[in-house]
Amino acid sequence: MNKISICEARQAEAIGQQATLQGWVRTRRDSKGGFSFLELNDGTCLANIQVVADADLPNYESEIKRLTAGCSVTVRGEMKASGGKGQATEMQAAEVTVHGWSDPDEYPLQKKRHSMEKLREWAHLRPRTNTMGAVMRVRNRICRSIHDFFQEEGFLYVHTPIITASDCEGAGEMFRVTTLDPANIPLDAKGQVDYKQDFFDRPSYLTVSGQLEGEIYATALGKVYTFGPTFRAENSNTSRHLAEFWMVEPEIAFYDLEDNMGLAERFLKRIATEVLANCEEDIEFFQKRIDDQVLETLQTIAEKPFHRISYTEAIERLEKSGAKFEFPIAWGTDLQAEHERYLTEKLFGTPIILYDYPDAIKPFYMKCNEDGKTVRAMDVLLPRVGEIIGGSQREDRLDVLETRMKEQGICPEDYWWYLDLRRFGTVPHAGFGLGLERMVQAVTGITNIRDVIPFPRTPGNAEF
Ligand code: 4AD
Ligand code: MG
């Protein structure tokens, strides 16, 4: 049994082979000449393979002619050159085995095209659509490039915890982890929740970022990265936010902000280059069906140098631009998506790295500049997607860090271990976080972030 994938079967080299193909029927077409065409897909590539099943097959009338979309089959036969358009090969079936039927009156993925919103209701079936299949193959390729890039650069993959007691971003948008019974919360003498009776003896949460733990390992092992799920309980129903998303976070000892920017740019260029080189068919599909700017975006990331400008300069450029914005621009406020897009799309036409943000809008751990009002932060912005990376050089001076924590209402004693890194052999260091789903959005052109992750978690949505 020479089992081959449909991706392999579609190559001209397969012609002449006896092979076994397995997958799901997309369509069946019966010809007047007494045979049927089956379009088969197994998820290994976007395209289907055409199977020719002759009427003299023993189960032709009883089974093959009853096959409909969604049925699962094994087909054995010979790979032949195809006369059909858009395909080099087809299979002449010698045997068709049906594994599972799929009632055409009930199976939702019939010929009709469904909206992305509708498909979200069938999270268990949507991976069988062309769009989700292509998204998942591209997502996989990005993950592979992420690991390859860091491994080749000598980074160590560190697994930081999912459950933690610390709030890295200081934004208080954390999901609580507890085994206390919500109907019967134990209280202490002061009438406060008695966390001593909880599983971890303290308030605990799902992590919003692996950075703080990443810093611990970077200041021992040099170059590390963590890559895992992160959680944010921000109640924002936007096309760019998930409650559960994947983040890759490199952290590097003896790095300053310049080094950090260089790493981020090389990293994104590597991903874009490899998606272009390895996902040709899927990208072509996105270009045709989803967004005709996808190729250009990828090429821009891969080839054009990223512009680097300070936050202050960006504000000046936006003020001078004369463009009308819904949100007013003022030094000291966070940039809105419309400002980010104006900068990347209208002013520069390339990805940009914004740096040196006002300290008041950034977390406690970022290194303070001499000017007393900005920190060594950096955000990488992509055309049409906006912020894709957030990072910084870290504050490595104990006293400054403690002051910043107090300013932001964070109790230094709770972070004694983090401060120890500054007490014992402190070093300049830096890192950043890339949101995986935003990257998948950027390279596929998919507008809603819920459609680039298998099972999106958003306010009100966690059924399956
Ligand atoms: O800018 P953020 O919040 O940075 C951090 O968490 C740092 N601790 C990272 C670091 O320096 N190690 O998040 C980083 C990136 C964002 O640029 C964005 O791409 C993504 O994570 N992100 C989200 N993606 C989907 N849904 C959300 N709710 C996201 N929040 C952030
Ligand atoms: Mg950010």
pLDDT at 83 (0 to 100):
86
> Which residues, at least 6 apart from 322, have a Cβ–Cβ distance to it below 8 Å?
none
pLDDT at 236 (0 to 100):
82
The rounded percent of the chain whose pLDDT value lies above 90 is: 93
Distance from Cα 176 to the centre of ligand 1, integer Å: 19
Q: Summarize pLDDT for 228-242 with one digit per residue, the tens.
A: 999 999 888 899 999
- Listed in order, strand segments (DSSP E) in 67-111 are 72-81, 89-100
Strands 307-310 and 352-358: parallel
pLDDT at 392 (0 to 100):
98
pLDDT at 78 (0 to 100):
98
Q: Summarize pLDDT for 130-139 with one digit per residue, the tens.
A: 999 999 999 9
pLDDT at 38 (0 to 100):
98
User: How far is 391 from 354, CA to CA, in rounded Å?
Assistant: 10
Taking the CA of 209 as reference, the closest ligand is 1
User: How far is 377 from 364, CA to CA, in rounded Å?
Assistant: 11
Distance from Cα 170 to the centre of ligand 2, integer Å: 12
Taking the CA of 459 as reference, the closest ligand is 1
> Of all protein residues, whose CA lies closest to atom 9 belonging to ligand 1?
433
pLDDT at 414 (0 to 100):
93
Distance from Cα 248 to the centre of ligand 1, integer Å: 9
Cβ of 438 less than 6 Å from ligand 1: yes
pLDDT at 33 (0 to 100):
84
User: How far is 68 from 351, CA to CA, in rounded Å?
Assistant: 46
pLDDT at 385 (0 to 100):
87
pLDDT at 331 (0 to 100):
96
Assess whether pLDDT exceeds 80 at residue 390: yes
Distance from Cα 200 to the centre of ligand 2, integer Å: 29
pTM, rounded to two decimals: 0.96
> Of all protein residues, whose CA lies closest to atom 30 belonging to ligand 1?
241
User: How far is 331 from 312, CA to CA, in rounded Å?
Assistant: 7
> Of all protein residues, whose CA lies closest to atom 26 belonging to ligand 1?
241
Cβ of 250 less than 6 Å from ligand 1: no
Assess whether pLDDT exceeds 80 at residue 438: yes
Give the confidence band of 113 by pLDDT, cuts at 50, 70, 90. confident
Distance from Cα 307 to the centre of ligand 2, integer Å: 18
For residue 57, how far is the Cα from the chain centroid? 46
Q: Summarize pLDDT for 161-213 with one digit per residue, the tens.
A: 999 999 888 887 999 999 999 999 999 999 999 999 999 999 999 999 999 99
The rounded percent of the chain whose pLDDT value lies above 70 is: 100
> Which residues, at least 6 apart from 459, have a Cβ–Cβ distance to it below 8 Å?
235, 237, 243
Distance from Cα 233 to the centre of ligand 1, integer Å: 13
Strands 18-31 and 352-358: unpaired
Furthest CA-CA distance within the chain: 86
Q: Are 310 and 349 in contact (CB under 8 A)?
A: no
Distance from Cα 69 to the centre of ligand 1, integer Å: 40
Give the confidence band of 451 by pLDDT, cuts at 50, 70, 90. very high
Cβ of 366 less than 6 Å from ligand 1: no
> Which residues, at least 6 apart from 221, have a Cβ–Cβ distance to it below 8 Å?
156, 158
Report the mean per-residue pLDDT for the chain.
96
- Helices and strands of the chain, counted as H and E runs: 12, 16
Q: Which atom of ligand 1 is nearest to the CA of 236?
A: 28
Question: Within 10 A of 332 (CB to CB), how many other CB atoms are there?
Answer: 12
Assess whether pLDDT exceeds 80 at residue 111: no
Q: Summarize pLDDT for 92-101 with one digit per residue, the tens.
A: 999 999 999 9
pLDDT at 292 (0 to 100):
96
Cβ of 431 less than 6 Å from ligand 1: yes
What's the burial of 328, exposed, middle or buried (CB within 10 Å: 0-12/13-18/19+)? exposed
Q: Summarize pLDDT for 305-352 with one digit per residue, the tens.
A: 999 999 999 999 999 998 999 999 999 999 998 999 999 999 999 999
> Of all protein residues, whose CA lies closest to atom 18 belonging to ligand 1?
435
Q: Summarize pLDDT for 120-161 with one digit per residue, the tens.
A: 999 999 999 999 999 999 999 999 999 999 999 999 999 999
Q: Give ion ligand 2 contacts, CB < 5 A.
A: 390
Cβ of 433 less than 6 Å from ligand 1: yes
